[in-house]
């Protein structure tokens, strides 16, 4: 469904990604794990068109090259990105945030909002509230709900567990599993490697801009290298 080949990305002179390749197949949950600064967010931003890969990089989504497409066109094709730090519109109401998520007009907005409210009842209670006043967990739910509004075929989440209490992290990962069961393919970026690998089918380990390991989630959970570096021994 999504295929990244030889992707290199630079910030000025600094090379953040060094010719990485990976793939996400329809129906999978795939996770990218790696330490701070490994380049995980850079990967997602490049896929969604916010950054550009160097010549020779290729990104194909559902058989189409999207590496030169504008971000809004990529969203229209069914790829949505829940960015690191949530990035909800703090000055807009919860409802307006969801409306912005439906900007591409992919589905029936009223019905989709209703679905998000069913999944996240807290958001229904707070729909008129300005998003900046939500708690961290509620903001993450809003960010996910907003991304669902575009009816994505593939959803990319960048560290959805960041800054959340363990019980909320649990909840977020349950939601990811549910979404996947309902047919959404997931590309999940996480520092919380144990959690990520427990919900994923396959995983890639990123180190300073390179893919150093690629395997099934189970195999990565059992691998000594991963245990030592990311699972605390």
Partner 1 sequence: MIFISQLINGVHVGSIYALVALGYSMVYGIIKLINFAHGDIIMVASYAVWYGAVRMGLPTWAAILLSIVICPLLGMLIEKIAYKPLRGSARISLLITAIGVSFLLQNLARMIFTATPQSLPALIPGKLSVGPWTLSYTTLVTIAVAVVMMLCLNLLVSRTKMGKAMRAVSEDTEAAQLMGINVNHTISFTFAIGSGLAAVAAVLYCCSYPQVSPTMGSLLGLKAFVAAVLGGIGSIPGAMVGGFVIGIAESLTKGYIHSGLADALVFLILIVVLIVRPAGLMGVHRPEKV
Ligand X SMILES: Nc1ncnc2c1ncn2[C@@H]1O[C@H](COP(=O)(O)OP(=O)(O)OP(=O)(O)O)[C@@H](O)[C@H]1O
Give the whole-angstrom CA distance, residue 174 versus residue 98: 21
Whether the Cβ atoms of residue 30 and residue 202 lie closer than 8 Å to each other: yes
Q: HSE of 80 in the Cβ direction (CA atoms, 13 Å)?
A: 23
Which residues on neighbouring strands pair with residue 214, listed in sequence order? 204
Give min distance, CB of 149 to partner 1, in A. Answer: 9
Whether the Cβ atoms of residue 147 and residue 71 lie closer than 8 Å to each other: no
C-beta of 23 vs 84, nearer to Mg ion: 84
- Interface stretch with partner 1, choices 17-25, 72-80, 114-122, 170-178 (CB under 8 A): 72-80
Among 84, 96, 207, 215, indicate the residue that binds Mg ion (CB under 5 A): 84
Among 8, 21, 58, 103, indicate the residue that binds partner 1 (CB under 8 A): 103
Whether the Cβ atoms of residue 188 and residue 200 lie closer than 8 Å to each other: yes
x/- mask, ligand X, residues 36-65, rule CB under 6 A, reads xxxxxxx-----------------------
Terminal-residue alpha carbon distance, the chain: 34
Give min distance, CB of 104 to ligand X, in A. Answer: 26
**Residues contributing to the site for partner 1 (CB under 8 A):** 48-50, 70-72, 75-76, 80-81, 83, 87-92, 96, 99-101, 103-104, 146, 150
């Amino acid at each position: 469904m999504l295929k990244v080949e030889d992707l290199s990305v630079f910030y000025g002179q600094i090379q953040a990604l060094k010719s990485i390749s990976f793939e996400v197949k329809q129906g999978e949950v795939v996770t990218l794990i790696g330490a701070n600064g490994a380049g995980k967010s850079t990967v997602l931003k490049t896929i969604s068109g916010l950054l550009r890969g160097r010549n020779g990089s290729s990104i194909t989504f559902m058989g189409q090259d999207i590496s030169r497409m504008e971000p809004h066109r990529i969203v229209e094709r069914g790829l949505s990105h829940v960015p690191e730090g949530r990035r909800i519109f703090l000055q807009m109401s919860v409802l307006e945030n969801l409306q912005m998520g439906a900007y591409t007009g992919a589905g029936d907005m009223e019905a989709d909002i209703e679905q998000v409210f069913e999944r996240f009842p807290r958001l229904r209670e707070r729909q008129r509230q300005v998003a900046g006043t939500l708690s961290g967990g509620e903001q993450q739910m809003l960010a996910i709900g907003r991304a669902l509004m575009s009816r994505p075929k593939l959803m990319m989440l960048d560290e959805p567990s960041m800054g959340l209490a363990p019980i909320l992290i649990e909840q977020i990962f349950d939601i990811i599993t549910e979404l996947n069961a309902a047919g959404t393919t997931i590309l999940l970026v996480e520092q919380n490697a144990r959690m990520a690998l427990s919900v994923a089918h396959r995983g890639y380990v990123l180190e300073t801009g390179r893919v150093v390991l690629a395997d099934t989630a189970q195999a990565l959970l059992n691998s000594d290298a991963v245990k030592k570096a990311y699972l605390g021994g």
